[in-house]
Structure formats: structure tokens, C-alpha cells
Amino acid sequence: MAQNYYQKEIETMPIEEMKKLQSEKLVKQVKHVYENVPYYKSLMDEKGVTPDDIKSIDDLHKLPFLTKADLRDAYPYGLLAKPLEDCVRLHSTSGTTGRRVVAFYTQHDVDLWDDCCARAIVAVGGSKKDVCQVAYGYGLFTGGFGLNGGAHKVGCLTLPMSSGNTERQIQFMTDLQATILCCTPSYAAYIGEALKEQGYKPEDIPLKAGIFGAEPWTEEMRQSIQDTLGIKAYDIYGLTESTGPGVAFECSEQTGMHVNEDHFFAEIIDPDTGEVLPEGSKGELVFTSLDKEAFPLLRYRTRDICVLSREKCSCGRTLIKMAKPMGRTDDMLIIRGVNVFPSQIETVLLKEGYEPNYQIVVDRVNNNDTFEVNVEMTADKFTDKVSDILAMEKSLAGAMKIMLGINPTVHLVAPKSIARSEGKAVRVIDKRKLV
């Protein structure tokens, strides 16, 4: 694919130049935070760091971390760095665990965010000739407004569908010949199934590309969405705390996401010690905003486990790449001493032809961890013979053992008996009481 860039100078900037730009921006950003956010100033004071200690991006490690707990403590205005009268927008996380997190935006912040999403759309081949169907939720959730803003900047005809009402999604997609679909990967898969049920073949679907994010998904799921919709499916990464989708985006190579590092500087740290790890190491992803006005976060710990890489990319972008997050520090289970990420179970299920709908149940019986995985039976695999079904359970457990190194007990359960991921599905039930 011939490469187009939305902001070529930044996206293909030589690394040394980028470092200089990041350093200049960081010095200003730290000063802005120190002067306007008493909450972070006190964290810096505690650590004995002043803005004068931060002279370049190499000094970043001197700054204290921010965590989700800080954001909750500081709710709602504690991390705001601009007067409210300068703010034009607010977004919020779903707040499933306790207090919500709210993030504020000035017009400058919205513009910067829209630029990030515009880069993502152009990177998947989007231009003003495209019809971009945004089926992320519009509202407090950042998905809808983020991609909407990016699509406007690129000049696409933007269909602000929001999520849900699949019948209407399909009608607009086919009547208006949408070429780019933006939504969560699970909703893309759902729309794909609905199109298939209505008799659409991949070649009848006008879409050419999809930008899917806001929830973890696997390579196998990418393949299955690409096959059903007849498109290229691209990943996008973001978090409300930083801005929303577009913090990092995938290019034609589909081998990880370029971080918009002129706005968001990425580090990988050891989640236990907080020490910065060298490039290529697996650890917790930490983001520092470099030029935000209303809600600048310095060294925010995302809890996503991930790897960064500066290998040369065939798309010509020099922006550092992050791998698909392998899981979250707080999703990781330790079962019989082995680290298990739910995403690994999903990978096995898709590879073996099951729906990626599962529930892990962990318990401790006689000082031993029990590890059970409930998986939905599919119409293709169902047979009338008990022995066949028992063999399927055994073979699935075997495939999981190869992936995880420990052996689960697999139970096949009735279709649709495990809650769907419309809300937040409960994937893990840990009954161990270790206190």
C-alpha cells in the first residue's frame, strides 16, 4: 500500500530530533504541572524533585508515578491543571471498581487528540474519499468522540452511529457504502456475524478497513474478523486518563502500534520495583503526556503489560511501536505458581474453533489450586455421543496446557450460558481466600 501520513514530519521524524522535541515539551509540561497541580507538586516535593531537575527526556525517571488510585483520590478536580472556564469537554471511564475517573480537555487538548486519531485513520489507508462509520459509543466513553474527531480532520464523511442497533448499522453501512468501521473488536465480530446471517458474503460488504480497540483482542480474533468482513483489521490503543483512543495506532504492517510519542512518552517498568526496563523488555506500560493543558498526567501507570520496540517499520514511520498488551497487571492470575493471563485462554479457544467466551474458576482445595475453565459448546462441535464430548474437553485442556504450562479442567457448557461482553464480562472467579 502506498504510504500516506497525516502529519508526515512528526510521524517520520528522525529519532534524535524526536528526542529533542520530547525533551523541550517535557520541561514545559513538568513546569505546568508543578505550578498548577498541588496534588502532583506534593508527590514531587516528597521525592525531592523540582522542575529544575528535569532538563531532558532522560530525566523522566526522576519523577514520581501516578496510579489509578491517585486519580480516584483526586476526583474530580485534584489533577486539573487549567481553570474550568478554559475547559470545553469532559470524558469518564466506566468506573466499575469504585469511583469514576474523569478527564478534562481544553480545545487544544481536543485538537491534539483528534490529530492522533486522524493519524490512525490515514495509516489504515483513509482519506477524504472515505465513509467512516463510527460505531463506538458516543458519550462519556472516549471511543465515539475520539474517532469522530479524527475522521472529521481527515475529511471523511463521518457516520456518527454510536454503538448498538445492529440492524441500523448494517443498513447505513450498505446503503451509504461505508469503507472504514471503527468500534470494539467484539462489536465488529458481532456485526460480521449479523451480516453473514443476512446472507452477505465478504465481497458484498463495502468496508475495506476497520479500526478496533478499547478492549483486548487476539491475532486469531483479528483473522476471524478480517475473514468475515473481508477487510484489514487494525488495532488502536488509548486510555481515558491519557486522552482516549489514538495514543497508539497500527499501520499497514499490522505488527504493533506506533505510539504518538510527540504527545505521549512511553516507558516500560518493572511493576514490582518501578525500575525502568530497557527496550524490548516485557513490563508495565507507563505514559507521560508531553503537551496537554487541562489533564496532563506524568508517569501514569497503565497496568497494561507490554513490550516497546524501535525496529524499523516498513510503513516509514519512526514512532516507537508497542506490542498488543498481553494483559493487565491486575488481570494476571497466579495459579500453582504460574502466571496466567485470561487472553491466553482466548487465544487457545479461537485456535481450536470455539467462541472466545469463557469463565475461569480458581479455588484452593487442600492447599492446592484448582483451575477450571468453562467454555461454551458450539453447534459445529456438538455430537450425540458422550465419549466425543469428553474427548473434546480433554483435547481443549491439552491445548491450554501447552499454552499455559499448567493443566486446567475444561467444562463444556450450554451456548450463551456465559454472560456476553456487552457490559464487562466476569471472566475470572477467584474463590481462593489467602488471607
Partner 1 sequence: MAIKQLTVFVENKQGTVVSITDTLAKNNINLRALSIAETQDFGILRLIVNDEAAAEKILSETGYLIKMTDVVGVKIGDAPGKLTAALKVLDENDINVDYLYAFMARTEKHAYVVLRVEDNCKAEGILEDAGFHLITKEDIDKI
Query: Would you say 316 or 415 has its CB closer to partner 1?
Result: 415
Please, what is the minimum distance in Å from the beta carbon of residue 310 to partner 1?
49
What DSSP character marks residue 276? B
Query: By 3-state DSSP, what share of the chain in percent is helix, strand and coil, each rounded to 5?
Result: 35, 25, 40
Query: Would you say 254 or 409 has its CB closer to partner 1?
Result: 409
Query: Would you say 386 or 435 has its CB closer to partner 1?
Result: 386
Please, what is the minimum distance in Å from the beta carbon of residue 392 to partner 1?
11
Cβ-Cβ contacts under 8 Å for 269 (sequence gap 6 or more)? 275, 276, 277, 283, 284, 286, 301
Q: How far apart are CA 255 and CA 253, in angstroms?
A: 6
Query: Would you say 58 or 422 has its CB closer to partner 1?
Result: 422
Please, what is the minimum distance in Å from the beta carbon of residue 348 to partner 1?
19
Please, what is the minimum distance in Å from the beta carbon of residue 389 to partner 1?
7
**Within 10 Å of residue 100's Cβ, how many Cβ atoms?**
16
Contact residues for partner 1 (CB under 8 A)?
377, 379, 382-387, 389-390, 393, 411-417
Q: How far apart are CA 302 and CA 67, in angstroms?
A: 8
Query: Would you say 67 or 383 has its CB closer to partner 1?
Result: 383
Residue pair 216/188 in contact by the 8 Å Cβ criterion = no
Chain position carrying cell 518493572: 270
Query: Would you say 54 or 418 has its CB closer to partner 1?
Result: 418
Please, what is the minimum distance in Å from the beta carbon of residue 356 to partner 1?
18
Backbone angles phi, psi at 21, to 5 degrees: -60, -45
Q: How far apart are CA 296 and CA 129, in angstroms?
A: 35
Please, what is the minimum distance in Å from the beta carbon of residue 335 to partner 1?
20
Please, what is the minimum distance in Å from the beta carbon of residue 346 to partner 1?
21
Query: Would you say 123 or 412 has its CB closer to partner 1?
Result: 412
**Within 10 Å of residue 425's Cβ, how many Cβ atoms?**
16
Residue pair 37/79 in contact by the 8 Å Cβ criterion = yes
Residue pair 287/327 in contact by the 8 Å Cβ criterion = no
